[in-house]
Amino acid sequence: MKLYACSNCNRSLYFENSVCLNCKHPVGFDSKQLTMITLQSQNNTAEFSAVKTKSKYKYCLNKQYGNCNWLVPVESTADYCEACKLNRTIPPLTNPQNQPLWNKIEIAKHRLVYSLLRLGLPVEKKINNNDTGIAFDFLAELSPEEKIMTGHDNGVITLNINEADDAERARHKLDLGERYRTLLGHFRHEIGHYYWDALIRNTDLLSSFRSIFGDESMDYAEALNRYYHSEPNPDWQNDFISVYATAHPWEDWAETWAHYMHIMDTLETAYFFGMGLNTIEPAKDSIKTAITKDPYTVTDFNILFNMWVPLTFAVNNLNRSMGHSDFYPFVISEPVVKKLSFIHDVCKVNRDVK
């Protein structure tokens, strides 16, 4: 994530801010320019003009719920921004418990869409049952017997809103023996399935995918059944980013895709903070790195990987100093680096084509 500042007073802004906490000017995110815009109101109307450019904007309709600060050009007939237009179903707000859960979901979803736009990937709204496009269904369980399963199906990403409940998510994490489970992680995993369909299926890249991830034509349901009813190979870390990635090549792709997005977004944040590492009392394996490049401009994934490893080692140590578990509790083997590099190249080709 980039760092943003109010163009009126130059104070730093969080990505989710809708007002500068210093000068009180309204602010919002322009998804076309990928930047925060400082605004001024227009005669007590719903229209705003940019302080610098005087361009006219209106807020996404979901601002009324306090979970969106994205902007829409005032001349547009659209009511919703590029992120919120993808919503097909939101939880019923007649239940007051649903609103705070939906708010958390929207924060994660907006960060997801930001990263997709930075990667130059196609972000389209699904129309009816078209084969292309993305639709989000955020669903609440109506009874204990009607379980909502988080997943992806032909561009439709379903999310059980209980995943936004920190206690529930922690329980699922423990029950499934996972090292990492966040709302943003869910979004990144499930959107990975969508982009496999969009970028790999029925393309010239399919044979390369199979040589790296395996043959996805194996029976998916049977593979998942085998995964859930057998012990994983104790050496799974030699070839996979997570134990769930061992279930099927599609899940290997989605898990690796999620980690690729973790890496890109975190390195972008570190770059805009000007972060670097240089241990004061270097051991044999001195920890050094200078994150001097915006990761979205780097063509060689190995350069990014060489920044990522020392950064995660340092932040893991910071987390331990605060009594927390590791920030990034994963080991990335050479085969996984190859998979991540493949994804990086796929995304780069897509940007170049555009």
Task: Return the SS3 of 155.
Answer: coil
Model confidence, pTM? 0.94
pLDDT of residue 174: 67
Structure confidence at residue 18 (pLDDT)? 97
pLDDT bin (cut points 50, 70, 90) of residue 129 is confident
pLDDT exceeds cutoff 90 at 68: yes
- The Cα–Cα gap between 340 and 332 comes to 10
E strands, the chain, in order = 4-5, 12-13, 27-30, 35-41, 48-50, 56-59, 71-73, 87-89, 135-139, 151-153, 156-160, 276-278, 288-290
Q: What does the buried/exposed string (b/e) look like for 94-118 if buried means 16 or more CB atoms within 10 Å of the residue's CB?
A: eeeebbebbebbbbbbbbbbbbbeb
Question: Residue 288's pLDDT is what?
Answer: 80
Element of type H or E holding 111? helix 98-118
> Could you give the percent of the chain with pLDDT greater than 70?
95
Quick one: DSSP state of residue 287? Answer: -
Structure tokens at 234: 């104790």
**Which letter does DSSP use for residue 312 in this model?**
H
Contact predicate 305/344, CB 8 Å: no
User: The tokens 């790999």 sit on which residue?
Assistant: 200
Cα 23 to Cα 8: distance, rounded to the nearest angstrom: 8
Q: What per-residue confidence (pLDDT) applies to 283?
A: 63
Q: Residue 24: which region, alpha, beta or left (left: phi > 0; alpha: psi -120 to 50)?
A: left
Tell me the pLDDT of the chain averaged across its residues.
93
Given this model, what pLDDT does residue 44 score? Answer: 75
* pLDDT at residue 354 is higher than 70: no
Residue 350: per-residue pLDDT? 73
Question: Can you read off the two tokens belonging to residue 107?
Answer: 């924060």
User: What is the average per-residue pLDDT within 184-190?
Assistant: 96
Contact between residue 135 and residue 157 where contact means Cβ atoms under 8 Å apart: yes
Whether 353 shows a pLDDT value over 60: the answer reads: no
Q: Which pLDDT score is estimated for 192?
A: 98
The pLDDT score that the predictor gives to residue 352 is: 62
Burial 175-202 (b: 16+ CB within 10 A, else e): eeeeebeebbbbbbbbbbbbbbebbbee
Q: How confident is the model at residue 141 (pLDDT cuts 50, 70, 90)?
A: confident
| Residue 42 confidence (pLDDT) | 80
Q: Which pLDDT tens digit goes with each residue over 266-321?
A: 999 999 999 988 877 766 666 788 899 999 999 999 999 999 999 999 999 999 99
**C-alpha distances in angstroms, 211 versus 172, 198, 335?**
33, 19, 11
The CB density around residue 7, as the number of other CB atoms within 10 Å, is 19
> Residue 171: what pLDDT?
76
Weakest-pLDDT range from 38-52, 114-128, 199-213: 38-52
Q: What pLDDT digit, counting tens, does each position of 236-259 carry?
A: 999 999 999 999 999 999 999 999
Tokens 């340092």 locate to 314
- 173 pLDDT above the threshold of 70: no
Residue 314 is predicted with a pLDDT of: 92
Amino acid, res. 96 = P
In the block, tokens 């920890």 appear at: 287
